[in-house]
Structure 1
């Protein structure tokens, strides 16, 4: 294929898998964002609601660990969600400095719309894949996730503490 016909910028020579993952993530998030706008949600809020639907009354730290974002991002998301009436935050019984997020009736009512949105996203995402291709994609994706999470850092041991 001539260089001009390549889907990768010349500077990405040797990084085609990573560039493709970036494009995939951007396309997936873009479509998810479109679906979420119809529910009047910002990207990521559906994940927080899904975790609260699974187990209501979680601390910000528990949600950070479940969703995989930093504390400031979670704090901003929870504040927005409280402002729109999806959740309430109350001090924890065990430590008044800790905030616990609870669903409101409006947040609870989002359970089925979010599930339907997620089914639509899955349907569009896998529409042109065979069952075997979808299974292979899941296997490959989890292998990549494990590789990245288990990497050796430039400064020493990996995240598990092994060299």
Structure 2
């Protein structure tokens, strides 16, 4: 029998998955794909980063994002420069054009979501804001994979 936390976890997963699908469906025609949005969002929130840092945060291998990085750079949405300490390493930065594209994409989906929230009471909207903060916090929690990797590092030392 499922515990209350397990039931809550399953309910949260279902709701987040459903909302994620709906938000993807609300993207305008011709919008950037999800992987490109992930890269731009990372650079927008956290500033200049290496391809490895972006891939790690997105739970991808850097090689699997190489084409995405190249396409974003070619479109003028990101810039690439050599690292300060290691000139062979790249540092990626979102450009003004990239920032504008990301903001337009977010604004379109935020407008749909704001209209959907109009059906809720002020108290329910406040609850959504609190839940969103908590969901962000949960999303930053280490995964089982991260914990196993940390344990392996400790064991090797």
- Offset of 1:83 from its aligned partner? 1.7
Distance 2:27 2:44 in 1: 17
Hey, what does 2:154 align to over in structure 1? none
Contact 1:60/1:71, CA 8 A, preserved across alignment: no
Q: Which runs of 5+ in 1 are unaligned?
A: 1-11
2:58 to 66, 69, 74: 69
Residue in structure 1 matched with residue 15 of structure 2 by the alignment: 24
Contiguous gaps of at least 5 residues in structure 2: 152-157
**Structure with greater contact order relative to length (CA < 8 Å, sep ≥ 6):** 2
Instruction: Give the match for residue 83 of structure 1.
Output: 71
1:117 equivalent in alignment to 2:108: yes
How far has the Cα of 1:78 moved from its partner? 5.7
Residue 85 of structure 2 aligns to a residue whose secondary structure is coil
Determine if the alignment matches structure 1 residue 96 to structure 2 residue 87. Answer: yes
Structure with the largest fraction of helix: 2
Q: Which structure has the larger Rg?
A: 1
Quick one: structure 1 residues 120 and 144, their matched pair in 2 at CA, closer, same or farther if it must change by over 3 Å?
closer
Work out the CA distance in 2 between the residues paired with 1:69 and 1:75.
13
Q: Does the 8 A contact of 1:57 with 1:101 survive in 2?
A: yes
1:149 aligns with 2:141: yes
SS at match of 2:27: helix
Aligned-pair CA distance for 1:80: 1.5
Does the 8 Å CA contact 1:57/1:100 hold for their aligned counterparts? yes
TM-score (norm 1): 0.59
- C-alpha displacement of 1:140: 4.2
1:108/1:82 Cα in 2 relative to 1: closer, same or farther (>3 Å)? farther
SS of the residue corresponding to residue 100 of structure 1 reads: strand
Aligned length: 143
For residues 95 and 37 of structure 1, do their structure 2 counterparts lie closer, same or farther at Cα, with a shift above 3 Å needed? farther
Question: Does the alignment pair 1:137 with 2:128?
Answer: yes
Normalising by structure 2, report the TM-score.
Answer: 0.61
